[in-house]
């Protein structure tokens, strides 16, 4: 297989209500990423979108975006992995180039969540026969995790506030972030409205709209397209028992651990090599458990990384460096593509005021369902 | 990239109403295909399912089936291409092995269409903003094609009846076909109820439930798994302008032609090499237009292949050899996987009374939307 690099990125600002439709948002970032890569056509397009079936009544979005972007004819397919859908599109684009089935591919993610019944559509990531009928939703399952975590580890009730504070702090200088003007204090997080106990409003990533894309080519040709390419060192997927209840320990995200282990082996890197981590902070507890699953902190100690500010840009393991899901926003199908764009900016020294020093290796993890499906991607500057 | 072979197949009989749920159907054929390949675990699973969001309220089905099949932990992703979804799952499994990201992969398709509002869910394969609001459905678009075809070519009103007759004839000896006891005469087709003029009931593939799966490994290792492996010589995707109205000639299925051209080039075969063609006969007109797009007949003459019985098992180009979408059934996400299983049986001389003589090269095409997305796969015995 061939090594693969990102040579173009495209993002649109995350918004509460985008006036544009799915195809327009998708085509815009595809064109932006292609312009960045100085190309006019790709061979293949992989589209990530989780909720278009319900919220826009639209399937078959990859072909629609290819046509809208002026490339009718090319390969275009739709890929999903529940809430990790954007990362699935990235992985497919990676594979089509790695396998030599295409020389130039784009991974695009787009989601419009602002209108329609989002919560029941999101809950379809859970077990429709055993979880949803008894009232489970994505937020209720994560509330279970947070409650169990705080109790088992006898952690302070406000143990996790640092995750939200860090994310909002980093979003301030990201022009594509939803919450650019909304830095929050620990007190604000603690006092924010309780949404689903113990989860508070400021523990949650927002409902929003957005789109992002990256262009991939063989690594050996990357310099012909870009003066600042970034190599995808590894891509991996691992799953877990579908339901939390079937796992020996719900707080141990085995799929996150296994997916990272596979990716680190493929990339030939260690945890110590990771310069920064674009974490899937859909909820504060998710970020905390992922840090623990990967070994950045022992079980029960992940929250201390936040409390001690070690997740900040100058900390031991910077996370959510451009605002994360919490403050950049989490338009689901697009999220991992935003993160990939941000990783490219970090690794090529273009992250502005959010620049992580000596950024050599960027880590991206995406969570499908309640950590049922985990995708890991590892990147490095070339 | 590595050459890839199929070493195991699994099918469940297509039924009008399967008592089992999606995960049970999916897991059953995955296990059957793995048993056929004499393995207990695969590295990756790609799941094709088009309508589960609406009809079963279930997304994230790949991970659910992996868990149900006793393989929590493995890579599992969902793939779609509207009504060509099964073929998209096959292509992804092909790529994961071709790229060396996995050594053993399964492509599984499953669909349960018997309950719920199928027509509006299917119509989401069309343009939700420009086609669906003005009343378009999958059947109305195909009725447009059929009407245009009959008029332009001044063909007899019953020009296409041979497609349905052939499919039902071949289904009789396929134990997995929905219509095993239902051979039909040309007169029956002509007199069947008009569903959406000029399309009659017996021009349409049925609403039904089913699941099928294939196991893929590197071709060079295929003999270790199976005494009758089949190589995937090529896999390809092409798209067209999303809407029929935007195409220079709606009767010329450009994506079908282009996807086949790419696949034939990759496989290094010609049209003359094709021993039989598992065609996407969702409607009689679809089969007819595909035969013309690929060059098996000139424009306007595809129906004559059926009328002259050249599509039969002993004809010039046998199609729908095990019943096709029309009579085996078209449980959408599973359809291309059923076809892949049938191609394996044909190429390894195990198609029983339906055996095509000297079957060397099998062709599979899958139609997403109104030929917006076309996937082509080419197979050969090893």
ipTM, interface predicted TM-score of the complex: 0.97
Would you state the structure tokens that stand for residue A103, as one six-digit string? 């020389």
Nearest chain A Cα distance for residue B85, angstroms: 9
Nearest chain B Cα distance for residue A226, angstroms: 24
Nearest chain A Cα distance for residue B313, angstroms: 32
Check CB contact under 8 Å for B60 and A125.
yes
Nearest chain A Cα distance for residue B243, angstroms: 9
**pLDDT for the residue A181:** 86
Q: Which residues of A touch B66 (CB under 8 A)?
A: 239
Check CB contact under 8 Å for A95 and B101.
yes
pLDDT tens for A113-132 read: 998 999 999 999 999 999 99
Check CB contact under 8 Å for A125 and B59.
yes
pLDDT tens for B273-304 read: 999 999 999 999 999 999 999 999 999 999 99
> Mean pLDDT over residues B105-133, rounded?
96
* B181 pLDDT more than 90: no
Q: Are A379 and A276 in contact (CB under 8 A)?
A: no
**pLDDT for the residue A129:** 97
Q: Which residues of A touch B250 (CB under 8 A)?
A: none
> Mean pLDDT over residues A74-91, rounded?
98
Nearest chain A Cα distance for residue B191, angstroms: 35
Q: Are B94 and A73 in contact (CB under 8 A)?
A: no
**pLDDT for the residue A257:** 98
The CATH classification of domain A4-118+205-381, taken from the options 3.40.640.10, 3.40.47.10, 3.20.20.80, 3.40.1350.10: 3.40.47.10
**pLDDT for the residue B36:** 98
pLDDT band at A369 (very low <50, low <70, confident <90, very high): very high
Angle at B311 between CA B308 and CA B313, to 5 degrees: 115
d(CA A23, CA A4): 27
pLDDT tens for B183-214 read: 899 999 999 999 999 999 999 999 999 999 99
**pLDDT for the residue B103:** 98
pLDDT tens for B152-170 read: 999 999 999 999 999 999 9
Nearest to A5 by CA among A229, A278, A263, A340: A229
Residues 6+ apart with CB under 8 A from B240: A72, A73, B247, B253, B254, B255, B371, B372, B373, B374
d(CA B154, CA B163): 18
Q: Which residues of A touch B60 (CB under 8 A)?
A: 80-82, 124-126, 242, 368-369, 372-373
Q: Given A57, A62, A82, which is nearest B124 (Cβ)?
A: A57
d(CA B311, CA B295): 14
d(CA B325, CA B292): 18
d(CA B84, CA A192): 47
Check CB contact under 8 Å for A246 and B60.
no
d(CA A192, CA B64): 35
- Give the other-Cβ count within 10 Å of A268's Cβ: 10
pLDDT tens for A306-340 read: 999 999 999 999 999 999 999 999 999 999 999 99
d(CA B309, CA A214): 50
Gyration radius (Cα) of chain B, Å: 19
> Mean pLDDT over residues B72-77, rounded?
98
Q: Are A329 and A204 in contact (CB under 8 A)?
A: no
Q: Given B78, B96, B235, which is nearest A80 (Cβ)?
A: B78
Residues 6+ apart with CB under 8 A from B141: B126, B131, B244, B370
d(CA B125, CA B370): 8
Nearest chain B Cα distance for residue A275, angstroms: 25
Q: Which residues of A touch B255 (CB under 8 A)?
A: 73
Check CB contact under 8 Å for B101 and A1.
yes
Q: In chain A, pLDDT over 70 holds for what percent of residues?
A: 100
**pLDDT for the residue B17:** 86
Would you state the structure tokens that stand for residue B53, as one six-digit string? 């969001």
Concatenate the DSSP letters of all residues of B269-303 into one string.
Answer: --GGG--EEE---SBHHHHHHHHHHHTSS-TT-HH
Q: Are B247 and B254 in contact (CB under 8 A)?
A: yes
Check CB contact under 8 Å for A369 and B63.
yes
d(CA A48, CA A116): 19
Q: Given A60, A73, A373, which is nearest B82 (Cβ)?
A: A60
Q: Where are the domains of chain A?
A: 4-118+205-381
pLDDT tens for B57-67 read: 999 999 999 99
Q: Given A1, A66, A68, which is nearest B99 (Cβ)?
A: A1
> Mean pLDDT over residues B350-361, rounded?
98
Q: Are A127 and B64 in contact (CB under 8 A)?
A: yes
């Amino acid at each position: 297989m061939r090594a693969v690099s990102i040579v173009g990125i495209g993002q649109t600002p995350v918004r509460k209500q985008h006036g544009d439709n799915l195809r327009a948002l998708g085509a815009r970032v595809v064109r932006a990423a292609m312009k960045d890569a100085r190309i006019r056509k790709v061979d293949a397009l992989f589209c990530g979108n989780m909720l278009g079936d319900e919220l826009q009544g639209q399937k078959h979005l990859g072909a629609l975006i290819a046509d809208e972007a002026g490339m009718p004819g090319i390969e275009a397919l739709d890929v999903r992995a529940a809430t990790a859908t954007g990362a699935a599109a990235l992985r497919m684009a990676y594979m089509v180039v790695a396998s030599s089935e295409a020389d130039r591919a784009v991974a695009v993610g787009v989601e419009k969540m602002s209108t329609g019944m989002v919560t029941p559509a999101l809950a379809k990531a859970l077990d429709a026969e055993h979880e949803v009928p008894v009232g489970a939703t994505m937020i209720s399952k994560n509330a279970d995790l947070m409650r169990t975590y705080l109790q088992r580890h006898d952690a302070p009730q406000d143990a996790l506030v640092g995750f939200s504070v860090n994310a909002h702090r980093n979003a301030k200088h990201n022009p594509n972030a939803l919450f650019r003007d909304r830095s929050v204090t620990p007190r604000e997080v603690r006092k924010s409205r309780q949404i689903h106990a113990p989860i508070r409003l400021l523990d949650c990533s927002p409902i929003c709209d957005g789109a992002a894309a990256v262009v991939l080519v063989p690594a050996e040709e990357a310099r012909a397209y870009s003066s600042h390419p970034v190599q995808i060192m590894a891509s991996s997927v691992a799953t877990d028992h579908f339901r939390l209840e079937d796992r020996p320990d719900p707080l141990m995200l085995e799929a996150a651990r296994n997916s990272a282990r596979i990716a680190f082996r493929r990339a030939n890197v260690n945890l110590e090599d990771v310069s920064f981590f674009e974490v899937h902070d859909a909820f504060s507890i998710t970020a905390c458990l992922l840090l623990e699953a990967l070994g950045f902190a022992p079980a029960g100690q992940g929250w201390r990384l936040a409390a001690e500010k070690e997740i900040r840009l100058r900390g031991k393991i910077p996370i959510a460096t451009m605002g994360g899901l919490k403050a950049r926003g989490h338009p689901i199908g697009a999220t991992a593509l935003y993160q990939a764009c941000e990783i490219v900016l970090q690794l090529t020294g273009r992250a502005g005021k959010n620049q992580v020093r000596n950024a050599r290796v960027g880590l991206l993890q995406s969570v499908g369902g309640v950590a049922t499906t985990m995708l890991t991607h590892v990147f490095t500057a070339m």
